[in-house]
Structure 1
Amino acid sequence: MQKIRFGTGGFRGVIGQEFTVEAVQRIAQGLSDMMKAEGAAGPVPIGFDNRFLSDLFARRMAEVLAGNGIVCLLYESPVPTPMVMCAVRDEGCAYGVMITASHNPYRYNGAKLFVKGGADADVAVTQRLEQFTEAVREVRALPEDQPSPLILKYDNLAAYTAHITDFLDAFIADNHLRLLFDNLFGVAVVGLKPLFDRFRIEHYTILHAERDALFGMRLPNPTQQMLEPLKEEVLRGKYDYAMATDSDGDRLGILDEQCNYVSSNDILACLYYYLVKYRGMRGDAVKNIATSVLLDRLAEKLGFACHTVDVGFKNISAKMRETDALIGGESSGGLTCRGYLSGKDSTFSGALFLEMRIKMGKPVSGIVREVHDFCGYHSACAEAELHLPALPDASRFARLQPAFGRETVRFEQLNNNFKWHFSGDCWGLLRLSGTEPVVRVFTEAETEAEALRLLDVLKTAVSGGMA
């Protein structure tokens, strides 16, 4: 029997191989048994994205929970992950589930678990669920595709967008910006289009709003490479900037008016700067270990601290609660703010970025420049993905000795992260994915050339170490 293991973004696997109806039903039975042991009651919101069979997997999940007497709030159409988190919080639920593989390739699907308050389940919770799932000997499910009073149709779009508008400044209504949004065949359009209309954005264009479970045969992730095709459209349409989101609506990517890619590090720093300097808000920042030192230097300049945690947004939201931080984010494009949801949300961050652009009254390139000049920090970051034939053994990476050609000031291992620190706030990082056979490589250095050189050194070390 296949073991169910939850990584930083839930349980994921290739559809029909690791991720199957049987696996989903076992997880649902394990969750039912865990809730019974805890004395936790329903309802359990269950959402799904645009991927192959996501709606069917969500239905099978609901049928097992209902077969155990647990009320389910089942969405009728694809929704962003943060909408489910919002439902868990607003309805006072003990748990919620989202069927998605986030930014992974089309052949993957997965399940994310949320806990009371609308936060990502931490390791203690997912490990407990793994134990209950492994102990399942019988799945109690209702007959397939039959109506049940325990499976309720659910929609909270109005409440979800209201939470976002409550955080925003009404000043952003009636503006004349030209905005280009690439939905990348995902689900963020569900929340963003109503917001564009509500704030009367006069000139906006949405690309790839339709469902395509193949995602146009591209990766549904708003990286620099994925935003490259937007550049010609930005120039032709004279857009003030372009934005894109990942397949389940929790990561954001930006191109400025000159078609320069605005990195996730810069998006996070700009929004933090804006909230403190222009909106008068106060508080620390939280980032993960793969995020630029830019946020540390900016926090210092603003008079606050920046806290670093392991990869996984649940670690960021936990540290935000602990320190009452104002903002938390990661280099992969996810962020949230105090007073909003505990999880990352590209609909929220995209709307907040829009507010920042309007209230600061200058081009996006000018905002980025202002932030870097303010904190006096300029660096270059680089990253890459190395796909391996199987999940790597973490112990082998701890023994690597990359030929960096510069002195290593400090070596740091944080779970599946291996980080080499150099002088001048420069560093290199190897991050082992918890959900797929991939090693992610990150570097930051004084120049782009040096960041790329360090990247090549680490890639070579990984290739040699896996031989």
Structure 2
Amino acid sequence: MSYKEKFKSWLASEYVDAETKKELEAIKDEKEIEDRFYKDLEFGTGGLRGVIAAGSNRMNIYTVGKATQGLSDYLTKNYKDASIAIAHDSRIMSREFAERAASVLCANGVKTYLFESLRPTPMLSFTVRHLNCKAGIVITASHNPKEYNGYKVYNEDGNQLTDKAAAEVLECIEKTDDFSGVKLIDVKKAEAEGILNIIGEEVDKVYIDKVKDLTIRKDMVEKSAKDLKIIYTPIHGSGNIPVRRVLRELGYENLSVVKEQEEPDGNFPTAPYPNPEQPSVFNIALNLAREVEPDVIFGTDPDCDRIGVLAKDKSGEYKVLTGNQTGVLLTHYIISSLKDTGKLPDNGAVIKTIVTSEMTRKITEDYGMELIDVLTGFKYIGEKIKEFEKTKSNTYLFGFEESYGCLAGTFVRDKDAVVAATLVCEMALYYKKKGLSLDDALNALYEKYGYYNEKLVSIELQGKEGQEKIQKALNYLRENMADDVAGVKIVKKFDYKTSIEKDVPKNEEKKIELPKSNVLRFILEDGSWFVVRPSGTEPKMKVYLAVAGKDKNDSEAKMDKFNKDVMDIINEACK
């Protein structure tokens, strides 16, 4: 069906409400109509994500309904007594989408647990396992701008769907008619009949207690938590209540919340791009810091699975740590603290993604721990945790990715900023008692392990033309790129789409034992490396760059040159 035919079918359908039809009839730009209808909103391993609007390529109650009908068919086909948990964040339409999903699932006879109000994404991951559900849904678009929303699906292990399961769900979705094939029931009726169960504090308390149990230096926290000065911003999201509750119950009394960003608000009035990777989201927190003079500042994104941390440097200024820097600090703190307290297992393992700092390897080697690389996406870290439980090969210590997500503990199988906030505060308290800031601690690690420097460049390429340009660029890099970057030879090429690792000087190839993914990685003879991949959730191509220098100035100079050299190649590939 062409985009014009699909557009007309929505206007003609008896199942589409009058307001939606009015929105569609008001569109005068043919390109806009094409972009809304040239395809169905893609359901991948991360579920759905898109701009909130009418159309088959947008987030709305109809695309959510169709996806949920496909998921329902998958669940009833594969499980005798299917059950599912649903959570949502503070975004526009999140509650409506959550209730539409609940309506479809209940109409299909799937026992459904729906949180009474907004909850962080990691709490959904926990709840799936806690209630022995077969799947989970969280309505969120993470840190995207306010125009977006999304629909993430979890398996019975509390992990995001595997590639195989996602393909099976997609097959069921594609068999569903956009409108007439979607079953619905009134949510109040479903609740009265006991198919829909509203959940809240009874689940919250168990989760909060498990987060508190992750504290390593319990005596230190019990005695001194009140001495740590903290500023926290939930950036209008779902972290406000659980983060503050955990810290309060652990004794962190000296906590100031950024009032202007405290309340849930899907319009994100103070942070148009509510991403803790963006330093601008902390501007109000920094104004408050002049008055409070905190030991640490941190913020969580709208669905509270990512954390951004600010540390005070020698000049008294607060600087935003990168996801790599926070992850490296936590890796070292967790391992060293477990060793100090006699709890470090012999078979401990840290897991990171292939685009995350290699400085982590130096730390794990120093303590005799194993470091395991996985593809980008926290589900691959979750899969490793499950593998460890089955094989007993390793004890999971910590996992993180450069994009500000990390996890300690195994009761959640996704990145968790409630957990991260708890550990960041414990770590900041530990260093404060030694007269050090987190910036001091990071610099000490650089002195010991080397001055690693990483950078992410995101190239935004919107719409159908943008997707075509991304594929063209990746094809060029895969097939036509030279064997050097500005005269520095490439020694290894990793093509995760073909699962081939190539030793360039030796002209030898071997198989990559990871799932297939459209990602390319290049390692140069001076130890620098870069990775190129399309974003799985945004209209972007991402370029990850890394160098190491003998000191801070050297690493920054190397990064400036490397960034220019690599981006010259990328820009040429995009033409």
**Same fold by TM-score, threshold 0.5 exceeded?**
yes
Q: Which residue, 456, 459, 464 being the options, matches 1:386?
A: 459
Query: Which aligned pairs between 1:81-92 and structure 2 lie closer than 5 A?
Result: 81-92=121-132
Give the CA deviation at 1:226: 3.5
Runs of 5+ consecutive residues of structure 2 not aligned to the other structure: 1-5, 7-38, 389-393, 497-516, 550-554
Contact 2:274–2:281 (8 Å) recurs in 1: no
CA distance in 2, matches of 1:310, 1:400: 24
What's 1:442 paired with? 544
Give the CA deviation at 1:224: 4.6
Give the CA deviation at 1:8: 5.3
Give the CA deviation at 1:441: 1.6
CA distance in 1, matches of 2:452, 2:309: 19
Code of the residue aligned with 1:382 in structure 2: it is K
Give me the CA root mean square deviation. 2.1
Q: Does 1:296 align with 2:361?
A: yes
Q: Does 1:223 align with 2:256?
A: no
CA distance in 1, matches of 2:310, 2:278: 9
Contact 1:442–1:455 (8 Å) recurs in 2: no
CA distance in 2, matches of 1:153, 1:284: 38
CA distance in 1, matches of 2:82, 2:241: 26
Equivalenced residue count is 466
What's 1:363 paired with? 437
CA distance in 2, matches of 1:354, 1:311: 27
Query: Which aligned pairs between 1:244-283 and structure 2 lie closer than 5 A?
Result: 244-258=299-313, 259-280=318-339, 281-282=344-345, 283=348
Code of the residue aligned with 1:369 in structure 2: it is N
CA distance in 1, matches of 2:90, 2:235: 11
Q: How big is each residue's C-alpha offset from its partner over 1:183-221, in whole Å with a ceiling of 9 and x where there is no partner?
A: 111111121011122122232111211122122252111
Q: What TM-score comes out, normalization by structure 1 length?
A: 0.94
Q: Does 1:140 align with 2:242?
A: no
Give the CA deviation at 1:462: 2.9
CA distance in 2, matches of 1:461, 1:424: 18
Task: Tell me the secondary structure at the aligned position of residue 455 of structure 2.
Answer: strand
| Structure with bigger gyration radius | 2
Task: Tell me the secondary structure at the aligned position of residue 104 of structure 1.
Answer: coil
CA distance in 1, matches of 2:72, 2:450: 50
The percentage of aligned residue pairs carrying the same residue is: 24
Q: How big is each residue's C-alpha offset from its partner over 1:111-137, in whole Å with a ceiling of 9 and x where there is no partner?
A: 111111222211111111111111113
CA distance in 1, matches of 2:320, 2:74: 45
What's 2:383 paired with? 318
| Greater fraction of residues in helix | 2
Where in structure 1 do 4 or more consecutive aligned residues deviate above 4 Å?
144-147
Q: Does 1:431 align with 2:533?
A: yes
Q: Which residue, 237, 257, 263 being the options, matches 1:186?
A: 237
CA distance in 2, matches of 1:436, 1:194: 32
If asked which structure has higher relative contact order (CA below 8 Å, sep 6+), I would say 1
Contact 2:49–2:150 (8 Å) recurs in 1: yes
CA distance in 2, matches of 1:36, 1:147: 18
CA distance in 2, matches of 1:288, 1:153: 36
Q: Which residue, 255, 258, 263 being the options, matches 1:210?
A: 263
Give the CA deviation at 1:328: 1.1
Query: Which aligned pairs between 1:16-415 and structure 2 lie closer than 5 A?
Result: 16=53, 17=55, 18-137=58-177, 138-143=181-186, 146=189, 148=191, 149=193, 150-155=195-200, 156-169=203-216, 170-171=218-219, 172-173=221-222, 174-207=225-258, 208-216=261-269, 217-227=271-281, 229=283, 230-258=285-313, 259-280=318-339, 281-282=344-345, 283-323=348-388, 324=394, 325-360=396-431, 361=433, 362-374=436-448, 376-389=449-462, 390-391=466-467, 392-393=470-471, 394-399=474-479, 401=481, 404-405=485-486, 406-414=488-496, 415=517
CA distance in 2, matches of 1:241, 1:413: 40
Once the two structures are overlaid, the 10-residue window that deviates more, 271-280 or 238-247, is 271-280
Runs of 5+ consecutive residues of structure 1 not aligned to the other structure: none
Q: How big is each residue's C-alpha offset from its partner over 1:393-421, in whole Å with a ceiling of 9 and x where there is no partner?
A: 14344236377312222222222222221
Q: What TM-score comes out, normalization by structure 2 length?
A: 0.77
| C-alpha spacing 1:328/1:421, structure 2 compared with 1 (3 Å) | same
Give the CA deviation at 1:12: 0.7
| C-alpha spacing 1:80/1:400, structure 2 compared with 1 (3 Å) | farther
Once the two structures are overlaid, the 10-residue window that deviates more, 123-132 or 383-392, is 383-392
Contact 1:256–1:365 (8 Å) recurs in 2: yes
| C-alpha spacing 1:10/1:226, structure 2 compared with 1 (3 Å) | farther
Contact 2:123–2:412 (8 Å) recurs in 1: no
Once the two structures are overlaid, the 10-residue window that deviates more, 317-326 or 45-54, is 317-326
